[in-house]
Amino acid sequence: MGDPTGATRLHVVELFLNELGHEITPERLELLVAPNVVYRVPGHHKLSGSFSGLDEVAAYLSRLAGLAHGTFDLLQWEDRMVGDNYVAVLGRIQIQVGGRISRDRTVFVFDFDDRQRIRSIEVFLEDQDGYTVTTTLLDHNIWDLTRAKHKWPPASEAPLTWLGFLAWSASRRTGAIEPTLTWEMFLSRCLSVRQPEDDEEDDD
């Protein structure tokens, strides 16, 4: 015979996950979560952070829905695990924020109170810090002007600087990083930049 408590928790989790990608009010959220709920997304990207209480969590989920503009897409739920205290769900999710497209296997871990309400949610993305941006003519133009101003070598002689600068410019333009993050700060923090193999862009 199945565990009725586990079945109830899994049902609450499914109801909550169905709300992702949509604006939600604290009153609606209260039907599923505890008043002191905590929602955490580790990492250093635009969607990461820690949010406490109905108002903060509802505001975050609504902001996520607004940023995604309806692009939040659950591609596939791959697995579910119901334990004594937690429910863990593994899924593949796609979301686009500005020019950034994330396609991540994502783990949601839910903790419950004694009334079977969600007490905490932790969201672990497959790549906590990595993201994809698409460069535009504007980013290349900013590179041209900046390179001329500082007398930097052309892209053919400094390909990593060129690629990193384009990534920085596109990241600021699309909101993937804060607009106050300077090129020098981005250069010191960014671990790597990779250009898709099937993309060929003009250097200069």
pLDDT of residue 174: 84
pLDDT of residue 136: 92
Dihedral pair phi/psi, residue 32, rounded to 5°:
-120, -25
Count of CB atoms within 10 A of residue 181's CB? 15
Residue 72 located in a structural domain: yes
Poorest-pLDDT segment among 99-108, 159-168, 173-182 = 99-108
pLDDT band at 53 (very low <50, low <70, confident <90, very high): very high
**Together in a domain, 87 and 161:** no
The model's pTM is: 0.60
**Together in a domain, 114 and 31:** yes
pLDDT of residue 128: 57
pLDDT of residue 201: 45
**Model confidence at 1: pLDDT above 80:** no
**Together in a domain, 74 and 165:** no
Residue 196 located in a structural domain: no
pLDDT band at 204 (very low <50, low <70, confident <90, very high): very low
Mean pLDDT, the chain, whole residue set: 82
Mean pLDDT calculated for residue range 192-204: 58
**Together in a domain, 35 and 90:** yes
In the chain, what percentage of residues exceed pLDDT 90? 40
pLDDT of residue 203: 47
Neighbour order of strands in the sheet with 49-52: 49-52, 33-41, 118-125, 100-112, 86-97, 73-82
**Model confidence at 21: pLDDT above 90:** no
Residue 107 located in a structural domain: yes
pLDDT of residue 199: 47
**Model confidence at 93: pLDDT above 70:** yes
**Together in a domain, 145 and 99:** no
**Together in a domain, 79 and 178:** no
**Together in a domain, 103 and 174:** no
Which residues in 83-95 are b (16+ Cβ under 10 Å) and which e? eeeebbbebebeb
Q: Where a domain ends, among 78, 101, 125?
A: 125
Contacts of 74 (CB under 8 A, 6+ apart): 17, 20, 91, 92, 93
**Together in a domain, 59 and 117:** yes
**Model confidence at 159: pLDDT above 80:** yes
Domain total in the chain: 2
**Together in a domain, 19 and 61:** yes
**Together in a domain, 82 and 164:** no
Residue 195 located in a structural domain: no
* Domain extent at residue 173: 137-189
Residue 148 located in a structural domain: yes
pLDDT band at 99 (very low <50, low <70, confident <90, very high): low
pLDDT of residue 165: 94
**Together in a domain, 100 and 171:** no
**Model confidence at 97: pLDDT above 70:** no
Q: Who has greater pLDDT, 156 or 192?
A: 156
**Together in a domain, 59 and 154:** no
CATH assignment at residue 40: 3.10.450.50
pLDDT of residue 44: 64
